[in-house]
Amino acid sequence: MTLPESLSSRAVTDPDVKATYGIDESVGALAPDRYEVVRARDLGDVVDVLAHAQATGTPVVPQGARSGLAGGSVALDGGIVLSLEGLTTITELDAVEGIAVVQPGVINADLKAAAAAEGLFYPPDPASSAFCSIGGNVATNAGGLCCVKYGVTADYVRGLEVVLAGGEVIRTGHRTAKGVAGLDLTGLFVGSEGTLGVVTEVVTKLVPAPDPALTALATFDSLSAASDAIVALRRERHRPSLLELLDEPTLAAVQAIADYGFPTGCAAVLIVQADRPGHTAEDVQRYAALLEEAGATEVAVADDAQESEALLAGRRALHHALVAKGTHFIEDVCVPVRQLTDLITAGHEISARTGVEITMSGHGGDGNLHPSFFYDAGDDDSRHRAEEAFGELVKVALGMGGTITGEHGVGSLKARWLPDEVGAASIERQRAVKALFDPRGILNPGRVYWS
């Protein structure tokens, strides 16, 4: 495939640099042999790529910071990777309206920092905040560590500018605090994983800044006690701003890379934070009391920001610890909170029966875990068994009324299970919507909807 003259100056030609745009963070991602990479410098470049792609029937993979875990931003054979990472301007930050207007390549942590400088807060907080982009967050409807109190990306998107297949530019939603005119196309694009259009501007809602969080860390000898604690904390009028769970195999993996002070031999650790302005000390003590009432064997409570960070450090190191442990698939199932214990127990049973090592950890307060399935990368049989175990746990989660993905998206890795979750009639309607926006099927084809 040849790019037109107008786009070739935006194309990446160095093979080594180009290779870095071929994959994302998903396990086993492989770049195809033939693809082009165009780094957009402005709206016009995006329009040109989508006009060319539509005219020639060329697949386009919109791409942010390539931190995706579902394989949604991996290059497609014969296609164009359209990188938005160079569009990094925060165009506007209005404390009175409580909004920021940003380009898609703005890094999540940079928007948080800009908001904080105005005494405001942009809550969506994926663990990848330091390196993922707002465009990618919008396209995956990213969650993260503080959803238990603040919700997900969709709760903070007021409006979008989107370039459609063919190059037409539309605006959705509104800038104002309220706005109910017409269908909610913003909601349609949020979480559409680059299959309906390319997001080129985002109007985000900002909220008043919380206080620096105080942390409590609790150790449990039984999963059911940890689960009781989560249920009790979710009933609180002033909900924790973070509620993370790590099971025993996860704690062992984290302790294997450095001493984060996690106990060994316990069933689970819960990490809880309070950030209510003027009440953090009071709330974290209240959470500690609830953790003890539920059966925690030990509870450590931070007095200041430094101790708080120290208690959270092991959770922050989790991704590195799991990578150091070995090659693994990462799950993203979400189940009703009360069924968390059953999900973890099912994971441990699958592990014992199949011999596949499985760690279970994640956003316990949301019922959203990231079970990881380890395998020997050089052994096809080992990989196959891990895949089977992965599929088994997806089915367990669906059987509990849960979902195949709480926040990472469907991408390529989960597409086969989407019909099991939403059903044939819904898939048919979703495909019809996709066809309305993308009649030639050039936008991230094969992702989300298995072809």
Ligand X SMILES: Cc1cc2nc3c(=O)[nH]c(=O)nc-3n(C[C@H](O)[C@H](O)[C@H](O)COP(=O)(O)OP(=O)(O)OC[C@H]3O[C@@H](n4cnc5c(N)ncnc54)[C@H](O)[C@@H]3O)c2cc1C
CA 18 to chain centre: 25
Instruction: Determine the interface stretch with ligand X among 68-76, 93-101, 232-240, 252-260 (rule: CB under 6 A).
Output: 68-76
Phi first, then psi, for residue 112 (nearest 5°) are: -60, -45
User: Is the distance from CB of 45 to CB of 169 less than 8 angstroms?
Assistant: no
Question: Closest CB to ligand X among 25 and 331?
Answer: 25
103: contact with ligand X by CB under 6 A: no
Instruction: Determine the interface stretch with ligand X among 128-136, 272-280, 292-300, 428-436 (rule: CB under 6 A).
Output: 128-136
User: Is the distance from CB of 273 to CB of 210 less than 8 angstroms?
Assistant: no
The least distance separating ligand X from the CB of residue 268, rounded to whole angstroms, comes to 19
136: contact with ligand X by CB under 6 A: yes
57: helix, coil or strand?
coil
Question: Closest CB to ligand X among 132 and 254?
Answer: 132
**93, 139, 225, 288: residue in contact with ligand X (rule CB under 6 A):** 139
The least distance separating ligand X from the CB of residue 446, rounded to whole angstroms, comes to 11
CA 86 to each of CA 82, 100, 120, 138: distance values in angstroms, whole numbers, following the listed order:
11, 18, 25, 17
Question: Closest CB to ligand X among 72 and 98?
Answer: 72
343: contact with ligand X by CB under 6 A: no
399: helix, coil or strand?
helix
Integer Cα distance of 187 and 438 in angstroms: 17
The least distance separating ligand X from the CB of residue 102, rounded to whole angstroms, comes to 11
In 190-338, where does DSSP find H-type helix?
Answer: 223-234, 248-257, 280-294, 305-316, 318-325
249: contact with ligand X by CB under 6 A: no
Integer Cα distance of 84 and 65 in angstroms: 8
User: Is the distance from CB of 279 to CB of 286 less than 8 angstroms?
Assistant: no
Instruction: Determine the interface stretch with ligand X among 5-13, 127-135, 236-244, 390-398 (rule: CB under 6 A).
Output: 127-135
User: Is the distance from CB of 67 to CB of 128 less than 8 angstroms?
Assistant: yes
Question: Closest CB to ligand X among 24 and 110?
Answer: 24
Instruction: Determine the interface stretch with ligand X among 65-73, 218-226, 234-242, 273-281 (rule: CB under 6 A).
Output: 65-73
**199, 246, 254, 284: residue in contact with ligand X (rule CB under 6 A):** 199
Instruction: Determine the interface stretch with ligand X among 60-68, 306-314, 395-403, 429-437 (rule: CB under 6 A).
Output: 60-68
Contact set for ligand X, span 306-325 (CB under 6 A): 319
User: Is the distance from CB of 136 to CB of 68 less than 8 angstroms?
Assistant: yes
**22, 102, 122, 133: residue in contact with ligand X (rule CB under 6 A):** 133
367: contact with ligand X by CB under 6 A: no
DSSP state of 61: E
Integer Cα distance of 360 and 353 in angstroms: 16
**50, 51, 54, 73: residue in contact with ligand X (rule CB under 6 A):** 73
Contact set for ligand X, span 386-425 (CB under 6 A): 407-408
The least distance separating ligand X from the CB of residue 218, rounded to whole angstroms, comes to 21
84: contact with ligand X by CB under 6 A: yes
159: contact with ligand X by CB under 6 A: no
Integer Cα distance of 204 and 208 in angstroms: 13
135: contact with ligand X by CB under 6 A: yes
x-or-dash string of contact with ligand X, 274-293, rule CB under 6 A: --------------------
Integer Cα distance of 322 and 360 in angstroms: 11
186: contact with ligand X by CB under 6 A: no
User: Is the distance from CB of 169 to CB of 161 less than 8 angstroms?
Assistant: yes
The DSSP secondary structure of 314-352, one letter per residue, reads HHHTHHHHHHHH--EEE---B--GGGHHHHHHHHHHHHH
104: contact with ligand X by CB under 6 A: yes
24: contact with ligand X by CB under 6 A: yes
**100, 142, 251, 270: residue in contact with ligand X (rule CB under 6 A):** 142
Q: Which of 214, 242, 364, 230 is nearest to 300 (CA)?
A: 214
The least distance separating ligand X from the CB of residue 60, rounded to whole angstroms, comes to 9
68: contact with ligand X by CB under 6 A: yes
User: Is the distance from CB of 102 to CB of 89 less than 8 angstroms?
Assistant: yes
Please report, as ranges, the residues that interact with ligand X according to CB under 6 A.
24-25, 61-69, 72-73, 84, 104, 126-128, 132-133, 135-137, 139-140, 142-144, 193-194, 198-199, 319, 407-408, 444
